[in-house]
Chains A and B, each alone.
Chain A
Amino acid sequence: MIEHPAPMRLLALVLLLVASIVPGSAGAAGTYFTTPQLLKAFFPKSERVTYRKILLDPSQQRVLEKRLGYTPARREYVVFVALTGERIDGYALIDDERGQHEPITFAVKFSPTGVVERHEVMVYREGYGDEITDSRFRAQFAGKTGKDVVRAGQDIDVVTGATISSRSMAVGVRRAIALVEELVIKPAAIAGKQDEAAGTKG
């Protein structure tokens, strides 16, 4: 007859008793936000959120390819615009980036000038590596602009045990910054200058 260590038996029993009385909490990897939930979370004080569909023209594709080093997979992107009256409160972009085996759906919130204010993982489809949903990881993207490298292992710390997912998010956010700058911020600035010039002439 083998005697098992009493402390181990006690530990197991305590664990099981605790398990039997604790209410469960939803914490499985999976869906963190739907699109409406995300937009309300990103822009709680805005009056409305609308969107723009932007079809990349060849010149924009070339610019993005030069900036990113590759051509973005999609020809068309949706940029959400938050408004209060006529004032733009900010932008949001939702995109996918491949993780270890499956795409990770993520969202980036931008200020009106294109500075990253928040990053969220919307859908994580794999059973492991969801440490990238950790706020400590996501908070690293806040404040990033096109002037930053946004590269895992340089200005973005990689989560231990979720190397590939971490790198995927850095690639995704870097692309989101480039897309918003090239498709929204710069065209708006050019249009503003043209309006200004037209007003001066008038």
Chain B
Amino acid sequence: MLRSIHILLALALLAPAAAFAQQEEEEAPPPDAGTEGGAASDQAPEESGPALELEGLDTSSGLQPSLPGPARRAEVENFEYRLDPGTTLGERAAAILDRTTIGGYGEHDFVVPEEGVSTFRNHRYVVFIYSQISERISTATEVEFEWAGSPLKRDGVLTFGEVLLEFSVVDLEIAEWLVFRAGVILVPVGSYNLRHDAPAQELPDRPIAYTTIVPSTWFESGVGFLGEFDLGAGMKLNYELYAINGLDARITDGLGFRGARGSNLEDNNDDKAIVGRVAFLPLLNLELGLSGYTGAYDQLNNRVNMVNGDVFWRVGPLDLHGEVVYAAVDEGFVQGFPDGSPANTRDRVPEGMFGYYAQADYRFRIEPFFRALPDEWTEGHFTASLRYEEKDTDTDFVTAEGDAARLTLGLNFRPLPPYVIKNAFYFQENGAGGDQPHLWDGDFFGDSSWTYIGSVAYLF
């Protein structure tokens, strides 16, 4: 059975070649460049229309910039130049930089818990590298240094820190609706995991169900397809569908699937998990997503099945978004790792998990304030946020670690889109009392502990 997957993957690798071979003979006609609202093709339109009197225009105005894509075909053909042993390192580096974008983001927090010690946290620094290898082949990678990388001092002891590839893919575009992707993939269960970048989020902490049941950042080695369909009447549908190593048996109450994220080195069984998401965009400002995951977590074919729904609705200055996730886990134990591995705890795995969040973000401006700021900040805004969320990482039991309800209030200042100063104050009640915590049950605020998080997030 595993062999059949290998055969399918081999077919996947051969499929594009056939597509391109056919395309040589049958180039799709370009959309009409003169039609209002349509992105033009890369082909020059017919020599009709107005006479262009553009003599004397230079390129210094940025009107004819160095272009990616088709206009760079000649440069792409020079790709071999980079591989020529006769070129110097400097020449090769220049050729790489010419087609490669380097950017990234960072996040630095200040945390004040109700009980315990306040602390600064260098939460994450992520370097993003994107490169257009050719017109239809590109690669993208995120390298993350969490808690400033390694070594990490925890409880007074130096230990290994985290420097990892959160995302590292190579895409081969067969058609707009069919892109073949391979590498370390962001697992498309829900929207948060796909859009977890700190500068894009309005609250500093990730939703509690989306660090545990959907263990953001959830990344796995695998292959698959993604693409987008234009349904007409302004409606779109996009999808992602992958085969990945998938979750292993380290499934626990409290952490949920966080410890079970698959290895990028080895799978713990022959089963390859299948995961996908379909998103329907009936309007520009409305997205409805449905995701599913299925895969064996141990060597006895006990499975995790997960379903997630997400919605994002933007109404002028108000964003309304939320997600809900349910996971059904076959009865089993934390085992199946090589003999002697401390991962074989033989603990029972939870058989059900449930979580959700609902969030509202309202953007507003105080005109006199922004007018008084330096020039480049006058387009900024404030954002007020409210989020309510719950997680239950074992639906059979109520525990302090596994059950929580949280209410978060946030206020952000964003002088520019890529820079944001966040303030968040949350109340969290857990299941220590033996009752499932809810905002509307009992004395939520009396039974909660509060935490303040200040955070600076930036994109570069």
Whether a CB of chain B sits under 8 angstroms from the CB of A58 is no
Q: Is the CB of B44 within 8 A of A44?
A: no
> In the assembled complex, how far is the CB of residue A79 from the closest CB belonging to chain B, in whole angstroms?
11
Which of the 9-residue segments A16-24, A176-184, A185-193, A194-202 touches chain B?
A16-24
Tell whether A30 pairs with B375 under 8 Å between CB atoms, given A20-B19, A100-B103: no
Q: Is the CB of A163 within 8 A of B49?
A: no
Q: Is the CB of A126 within 8 A of B15?
A: no
Docked complex Cα distance between A36 and B135 (Å): 22
Q: Is the CB of A44 within 8 A of B34?
A: yes
Q: Is the CB of B52 within 8 A of A19?
A: no
Which of the 9-residue segments B281-289, B429-437, B438-446 touches chain A?
B281-289
B1-58 CB contacts (< 8 Å) to partner A: 1-2, 4-5, 8, 11-12, 14-16, 18-20, 22-23, 26-28, 30, 33-34, 36-42, 44-45, 48-54, 57
Tell whether A50 pairs with B140 under 8 Å between CB atoms, given A26-B42, A70-B378, A138-B37: no
- Smallest Cβ-Cβ distance to A105: which chain B residue: B65
Please name all residues of chain A whose beta carbon is closer than 8 Å to the beta carbon of B459 when the two chains form the complex: 100-101, 164
Please name all residues of chain B whose beta carbon is closer than 8 Å to the beta carbon of A68 when the two chains form the complex: 378
Q: Is the CB of B1 within 8 A of A1?
A: yes
Tell whether A127 pairs with B316 under 8 Å between CB atoms, given A23-B28, A26-B70, A37-B40: no
Among B19, B50, B270, the residue within 8 A (CB) of A2 is B270
> In the assembled complex, how far is the CB of residue B29 from the closest CB belonging to chain A, in whole angstroms?
10
Tell whether A126 pairs with B63 under 8 Å between CB atoms, given A47-B51, A154-B317: no
Whether a CB of chain B sits under 8 angstroms from the CB of A71 is yes
> In the assembled complex, how far is the CB of residue B125 from the closest CB belonging to chain A, in whole angstroms?
16
Kindly name the residue among A24, A37, A96, A163 whose own CB sees the greatest number of chain B CB atoms within 10 A: A24
Docked complex Cα distance between A160 and B279 (Å): 11
Q: When each residue 273-294 of chain B gets 1 if its CB lies under 8 Å from chain A and 0 otherwise, what string results?
A: 0100000010111110000001
Among B18, B68, B274, B314, the residue within 8 A (CB) of A125 is B68
Whether a CB of chain B sits under 8 angstroms from the CB of A39 is yes
Q: Is the CB of B101 within 8 A of A125?
A: yes
B residues with CB within 8 A of A: 1-2, 4-5, 8, 11-12, 14-16, 18-20, 22-23, 26-28, 30, 33-34, 36-42, 44-45, 48-54, 57, 61-65, 67-71, 101-103, 128, 130, 132, 135-136, 138, 140, 173-176, 178, 180, 195, 200, 225, 234, 236, 241, 243, 269-272, 274, 281, 283-287, 294, 296, 301, 312, 314, 316-317, 363, 370-371, 375-376, 378-379, 381, 417-418, 459-460
Given contacts A9-B4, A26-B70, A29-B68, 9 further A-B contacts (CB under 8 A): A23-B26, A28-B136, A32-B40, A65-B375, A70-B376, A71-B375, A136-B234, A136-B283, A168-B417
